[in-house]
Chains A and B, each alone.
Chain A
Amino acid sequence: VDYTASKDEL
């Protein structure tokens, strides 16, 4: 499960 990708969200 990828969670780090959420850091590009605002």
Chain B
Amino acid sequence: MNVFRLLGDMSHLLAILILLLKMWKTRSCAGISGKTQILFALVFTTRYLDLFSSFISIYNTTMKLFFIASSYFTIFLMYSKFKATYDSNHDSFRMEFLVVPVGGLAFLVNHEFLPLEILWTFSIYLESVAILPQLFMVSKTGEAETITSHYLFALGSYRLLYIFNWVYRYYFDGFFDLIAVVAGCVQTILYCDFFYLYITKVLKGKKLSLPA
């Protein structure tokens, strides 16, 4: 555990808390993509199956359980409790366009052809593109609430901080995982346009709106 990894995890945790707090306080999930949230639940479920096979630390187990539980709780809020506020018309990205190619890629490009390893690889690839339905939704409506922007910024920062963590681990631990690094870079690149808008607009007190 290094400082970048810890900051990355805290940023990820903060993103989830911001999202839950936004929904709970406003009693609404307007502007949030249910597709992205379903994909995240799939990501956590397929990646953390090792909860049953190996124990790493209390921290590790606690975080994994929290990520899984919060992702399903978010889906419950969106598709059940606050269903009336869910903006399904603008959430029209097709999940199968991501899940199917990513599933195929996980079968073809992995470290070891084992069920758990393939599922782990699938989750890494899927996480890298899981934000696309959300970004698609923001571009379709042309705007995002400020609280949603904070959520996306924290979520994007998490993988950027993981890249610093991988650079650190490469130099100081001799550790390198090509699959995680490439997918992590793809994931971070997808946020670049958003980061630019966040810094130039939201941080200056303006609402995030896209030029028509």
Partners in one complex: yes
List chain A positions with a Cβ less than 8 A from chain B.
1-3, 5-10
Evaluate contact between B120 and A7: CB separation under 8 angstroms: yes
Evaluate contact between A10 and B173: CB separation under 8 angstroms: no
8 interchain residue pairs of minimum CB distance: A6-B177, A3-B177, A5-B175, A8-B56, A6-B180, A3-B111, A2-B175, A10-B63
In the bound assembly, the distance between CA atoms of A2 and B120 in angstroms comes to 16
In the bound assembly, the distance between CA atoms of A3 and B64 in angstroms comes to 20
Evaluate contact between A8 and B60: CB separation under 8 angstroms: yes
Q: Chain A residues with Cβ under 8 A from B120's Cβ?
A: 7
Smallest Cβ distance from A8 to chain B, in angstroms? 5
The secondary structure that dominates the B interface is helix
15 A–B contacts from the bound complex (CB under 8 Å): A1-B176, A2-B175, A2-B177, A3-B177, A5-B175, A6-B180, A7-B50, A7-B54, A7-B120, A8-B56, A9-B5, A9-B180, A10-B9, A10-B12, A10-B63
Residue of A nearest to B162 (CB): A9
Q: Chain B residues with Cβ under 8 A from A2's Cβ?
A: 174-177
In the bound assembly, the distance between CA atoms of A2 and B181 in angstroms comes to 13
Interface size on B, residues (CB 8 A): 24
Q: Chain B residues with Cβ under 8 A from A5's Cβ?
A: 169, 173, 175, 177
- B21 on the interface (CB 8 Å rule)? no
Chain B positions 165-208 with a Cβ under 8 Å from a chain A Cβ? 165, 169, 173-180
- B125 on the interface (CB 8 Å rule)? no
Q: Chain B residues with Cβ under 8 A from A6's Cβ?
A: 175, 177, 180
- B40 on the interface (CB 8 Å rule)? no
- B122 on the interface (CB 8 Å rule)? no
Which of B54, B57, B177 is packed against the most chain A CB atoms within 10 Å? Answer: B177
In the bound assembly, the distance between CA atoms of A1 and B193 in angstroms comes to 33
